[in-house]
Amino acid sequence: MPLSAPLIEMRGISKSFGAVKANEAVDLSVAPGEILGLLGENGAGKTTLMNVLFGAYAPDAGEILVQGKPVTINSSADALAAGIGMVHQHFHLAPRLSVLENLLIGISGRSGRIDRAGGLARLGEIGRQHGLTLDPDLPVSALSVGEQQRLEIVKALFRGARLLILDEPTAVLAPTEVDGLFAALRSMSAQGLGIIFISHKLNEVRALTHRCVVLRHGRVAGRVDAPASTTSSEMARLMCGHEIVPPARGPSTPGAAVLTLEGISTSGHAGTPLRDVSLFVRAGEILGIAGVSGNGQRALADVISGVRAADAGQMTIAGKMVSRFSPREVQALGLGRIPEDRMTTGLVTNLPLADSMVLPRIGTGAFSRNGLLKPDAIRAFAEAQIKAYDIRCPGPMTRAGALSGGNLQKALLARELAFDPKVLIVSQPTRGLDIGAARFIHEKFLDMRTKGCGIIVIGEDLEELLMLSDRIAVMYEGRIAGTLASADATVARLGLMMTGAEGTA
Amino acid sequence: MFRLEARTSTPAWFNLALPLLAIGATLVLCSGLIALAGAGVIEAYGVMFSASLGDSYAITETLVRAAPMIFTGLAVAVAFRAKFWNIGAEGQLLAGAVASCAVGAIPMPGPLAMFLMAVAGAGAGAAVALIPATLRVKFKVDDVVSSLLLNSVIFYALMALIEGPWKDSFSGYPISPPIEESANFPVLLEGTRLHLGVLAALIAAPLIWFLIVRTTLGFRIRVTGENPEAARYGGIHVERVLISTALLSGALAGLAGVGEVGGVHFQVMSDISPGYGYSGIVVAMLARLNPLGVVPAAIFLAAVMTGAEAMSRATGVPAFLSEVIQGTALLAMLVALLFTAYRIRRVGAAR
Ligand SMILES: Nc1ncnc2c1ncn2[C@@H]1O[C@H](COP(=O)(O)OP(=O)(O)O)[C@@H](O)[C@H]1O
Ligand SMILES: [Mg+2]
């Protein structure tokens, strides 16, 4: 446990972007061997504060001390020289280069030569110490997201970081990978490394950190000295400024099946293919799909969304057979889709938000006629949804990419729900969202359920699935390993089925 | 110390300010070369200006030169919007010129001939552009490389034609037979070379703007260019959009060739285009891929080209300066575009 003088200290840090005060008079310190949790809702200023520490932004006021001495950090090179390493939310890796080459970028010996052998040795050493093993010769593009993150951590250690900043590292990880990450972080902390761990998942913070700083609207809203013995609801109150109650799932009588899959199999393409998948969702019912990611969830979502055709099997939507598997066909039959990856398959970040909001229905009478767009209708639609869903943005012509994750997710939800889908398929609906935004999304799903929509939620967060679903199907290696009524499902039982250990038809 | 910081939004006035900034920077940078060539900078730019925009005849000459670059600029702007990297406007222009010249040489009523020349030229340009687009869609062949290399293929094919089977038997030079006189595009202003094709170019720009901004095809082109994955998931046939874009882009570049044959040269020769296809890239970039911006951008480059010739006669600065200015303008614009995504911030001032 930490006892010694602080490794780094930030005093009175303020940073504004125009009128937005991202950080205001923030104090924070980390001691050697300490894991500090940095908590806060989206937009609370966590990333900005860490970017100041890492030299990406110059603070408007305040100072940074490293081992008691004031320092000026103007670049990431300065930060690294001061022993500060950061793993960003979006990784900074060269995808075509190998693991080892990525480690050695920017590091060369005095003669300008690259020390491959030395790098290899250090890589092995770091891997053994903290359980962060990586194949040095694999190209980064072949690594999973979890492995890329591991490489980012190793990179920071390789450069001699004594303080490691991790910006929402678990947002991209599967539950099993989270365990591995925590083990590595604990091992580093035991060796005297300071760690700043950003998250808004309270159970993670409680399990891992020694101390917490909670930010709200750029200010320190509270400090928690013993996270393990503080309740989640107390911390949630600090983060949001008010109580958060999970929405209640009332009873509902499911109607006829609105989506059925019969013996669907796929082949080719990336990812795990589907093998003889049969399932159904009824009107007014939420079906959860649990499973460790990479067990065919992507293929399942793609087939249902009409992006990938099934090689065998049949699918019906609202009683009608899907014949061609195109996004337009399934949409015309009444399917709404909220993609897993908002930025890549959902929105067009460089175009106005309004364009993304009408994208899937641009060819329909609502937004165009005889090949001519209806700009007024598009604008009015976007404005109405922005209002109805309280999407925080300057207006429908704002670049979609400028919105925060929670607001983007609301926009995607709005664009689908506006057309009263009979079936809704969503993947990881609240990944990366804070408690307030997640709560809003959950409420909308439950509303839709009451209104008679059939919903499939693909997710890895078992607690979320248990809260939302009427039934939960578990995917394992491209098959449905079993389906449970949510009354019979527990985290433990689902967890077992997800490893392929138990099957219940 | 200065540093680049990412912007979250780009002010609208940047669209106008950046090209002007780029042009200003270009003229300043190139004044050094003029001085090196031993001429007065002010005098040289003065001659350039008066020779290209100084009187109404000069203006018509500049417009005649701008017309093909409006077409190639539009071709590139449309293609780049979809991120179909068409570097082949030069070859598509040449193909359009050859096809329209072949059609124009057939005796028929003038208006019909002009119409068929345009159809043939646009069709030929589109057919050429289809090659790199198909290679990309079907086999993932890099469109930059394939469209660029096709330019040489078409250029030498044209040379082979006009030095061989298609050579005008009444001329000692490697040029094609002329088109019928009735197929010559009408002149709009007596005593100038301002021809129908120039008007067509000026009309094409707002039409293409309308297509990009107000039609579903334009919407699909924009979305496909910015995020093909989101487009695909949104039900857009990305391959089909790329092919349509290529056809449209090639047709526009082909029309540049039609105008040169029908309104300026009345036949095909090896130097029918002094690189109008490549200039189209500069034009489109200066216009920030906005079809309406293509017109002033093309006029600027045309003025530089006509002006540079006059300047070289008057001051002895080599006319190659026009190409240097074009290249510098492209680089300046690419640098200026950086400011749409980043701002410059002074660091260390807070301390
Ligand atoms: N580069 C930037 N330009 C303008 N505003 C920004 C920028 N970066 C962050 N912000 C704003 O600052 C606030 C804090 O953002 P951020 O630090 O990313 O929060 P968090 O990481 O806690 O979600 C938000 O309101 C955000 O919109
Ligand atoms: Mg953040």
CATH at residue A83: 3.40.50.300
In a domain? residue A492: yes
pLDDT of residue A43: 81
CB < 8 Å to B234, chain A: 327, 359-360, 362
DSSP at A399:
B
Q: Are residues A359 and A432 in the same domain?
A: no
**DSSP per position, A77-141:** HHHHHTTEEEE-SS----TTSBHHHHHHTT---TTS---HHHHHHHHHHHHHHHT----TTSBGG
**Do both A94 and A193 map to the same domain?**
yes
Domain that holds residue A216: 8-240
Asked, for residue A249, whether it belongs to a domain, the answer is no
The pLDDT assigned to B171 comes to: 84
SS3 B235: coil
User: Which of B143, B113, B78 shows the shortest CA–CA distance to B284?
Assistant: B78
Q: What is the mean pLDDT of residues B5-19?
A: 77
The CA radius of gyration of chain A, in Å to the nearest whole number, is 24
Do A81 and A144 sit in the same domain of this protein? Answer: yes
- The stretch B67-83 carries a mean pLDDT of 98
User: Per the domain annotation, does A35 fall within a domain?
Assistant: yes
Q: Considering only residues 187 to 246 of chain B, which have any Cβ-Cβ distance to chain A shorter than 8 Å?
A: 214-220, 222-223, 226-227, 229-236
Q: What are the Cα distances from residue A96, in Å, to A93, A144, A148, B136?
A: 9, 14, 13, 21
Q: Tell me if B81 is assigned to some domain.
A: yes
Please tell me the distance between residue B14's alpha carbon and the centre of ligand 2 in angstroms. 29
Residues B305, B322 contacting (CB under 8 angstroms): yes
Stretch A481-505: mean pLDDT: 83
Residues A301 and A413 in one domain: no
- Of the two residues B305 and B126, the one the predictor is more confident about is B126
CB contact under 8 A, B8 and A399: yes
Question: Total structural domains in chain A?
Answer: 3
Across the interface, whether the CB atoms of B347 and A74 are under 8 A apart is answered yes
B268, B98 in Cβ contact below 8 A? yes
Q: What is the pLDDT of residues A158-189, one digit of tens each?
A: 989 999 999 999 887 877 788 899 999 999 99
Q: How confident is the model at residue B348 (pLDDT cuts 50, 70, 90)?
A: low
pLDDT bucket at A297, cuts 50 / 70 / 90: very high
Average pLDDT over residues A429-455: 90
- Domain annotation covers residue B351: no
* Angle at B203 (CA atoms; ends B202, B206), nearest 5 degrees: 100
Q: Please tell me whether residues A430 and A386 are part of one structural domain.
A: no
Q: Residue with the nearest Cα to atom 5 of ligand 1?
A: A17
**pTM, whole model, 2 decimals?**
0.83
More confident residue, B164 or B134: B134
- Test the A interface: residue of B4, B83, B224, B229 with most A CBs within 10 Å: B229
Residue A1 pLDDT exceeds 60: no
A243 vs B250, higher pLDDT: B250
| Same domain as A384, residue A492 | no
> What is the predicted pLDDT for the residue at B113?
97
pLDDT band per the 50, 70, 90 thresholds, residue B265:
very high
Selected for mutation to probe chain A from B213, B214, B233 (highest A CB count within 10 Å) is B233
Confidence at residue B8, expressed as pLDDT on a 0 to 100 scale: 63
More confident residue, A119 or A114: A119
Q: Which ligand approaches the C-alpha of residue A239 most closely? A: 1
Pair A356, A298 in one domain: no
Residues A172 and A36 occupy one common structural domain? yes
Which residue does chain B place closest to A58, by CA atoms?
A: B347
Same domain, A36 and A130: yes
Cα A169 to Cα A179: distance, rounded to the nearest angstrom = 12
Which of A371, A386, A420 delimits the end of a domain? A420
Report the pLDDT value the prediction gives residue A65, as an integer from 0 to 100: 94
- Position B145 in a domain: yes
Q: Which pLDDT tens digit goes with each residue over B36-54?
A: 988 889 998 999 899 999 9
Instruction: Judge contact between A184 and A197, C-beta under 8 A.
Output: no
pLDDT at residue B349 greater than cutoff 60 = no
Residues A223 and A259 placed together within one structural domain of the fold = no
Say if A413 falls within a structural domain: yes
- Residue A505 confidence (pLDDT) above 60: no
pLDDT, position B269: 95
More confident residue, A124 or A109: A124
Share of chain B above pLDDT 90, in %: 73
Q: Provide the pLDDT for residue A2.
A: 44
Q: What is the pLDDT of residue B351?
A: 35
Give me the residue from B3, B233, B350 closest to A307, CB to CB: B233
Percent of chain B whose predicted confidence (pLDDT) is above 70 = 97
Average pLDDT rounded to a whole number, residues A132-143 = 89
Percent of chain A scoring above 90 in pLDDT: 62
Average pLDDT over all residues of chain B: 92
**Inside any domain, residue B263:** yes
Residues A234 and A320 in one domain: no
Residue bearing tokens 């007014």? A284
Same domain, A368 and A489: no
- Summarize the confidence of residues A73-92 as an average pLDDT: 90
Tens of pLDDT, residues A3-27: 567 999 999 999 998 888 999 999 9
Interface residues from chain A to B (CB-CB < 8 Å): 17, 57-61, 72, 74-75, 305-307, 326-328, 331, 337, 339, 344-351, 355-356, 359-360, 362-363, 368, 371-373, 375, 394, 398-399, 402
Which protein residues touch ligand 1 with a CB less than 6 Å away?
A: A 17, 20, 22, 40, 42-48; B 6, 8
Which DSSP category does B185 fall into?
A: P
The alpha-carbon gap from A88 to the nearest alpha carbon of chain B, in Å, equals: 15
Question: Which tens digits make up the pLDDT trace of B220-237?
Answer: 999 999 999 999 999 999
Q: Which domain holds residue B73?
A: 2-346
Q: What is the pLDDT at residue B144?
A: 96
**pLDDT bucket at A88, cuts 50 / 70 / 90:** very high
User: Which residue in chain B has the smallest CA separation from A59?
Assistant: B350
B219/A355 touch (CB, cutoff 8 Å), yes or no: yes
- Looking at the structure of chain B, the number of domains it has is 1
| Closest-approach residue (CA) in chain A for B227 | A348
pLDDT tens-digit series, residues B133-160: 999 999 999 999 999 999 999 999 999 9
Look at residues A389, A404, A420 and tell me which one is the last residue of a structural domain: A420
pLDDT at residue B350 in the model: 39
Domain boundary among A206, A240, A274: A240
Beta strands at A423-427 and A454-458: parallel, antiparallel or unpaired: parallel
What's B235's domain CATH number?
Answer: 1.10.3470
Q: Cα separations (Å) of B106 from B100, B112, B127, B176, B182? A: 10, 11, 22, 13, 10
Mean pLDDT (chain A, rounded): 90
* Residues ≥6 apart with Cβ < 8 Å to B245: B78, B79, B81, B82, B84, B133, B221, B224
Mean of pLDDT values over A121-141: 90
Task: Considering only residues A423 and A104, tell me which one the structure prediction assigns the higher pLDDT.
Answer: A423
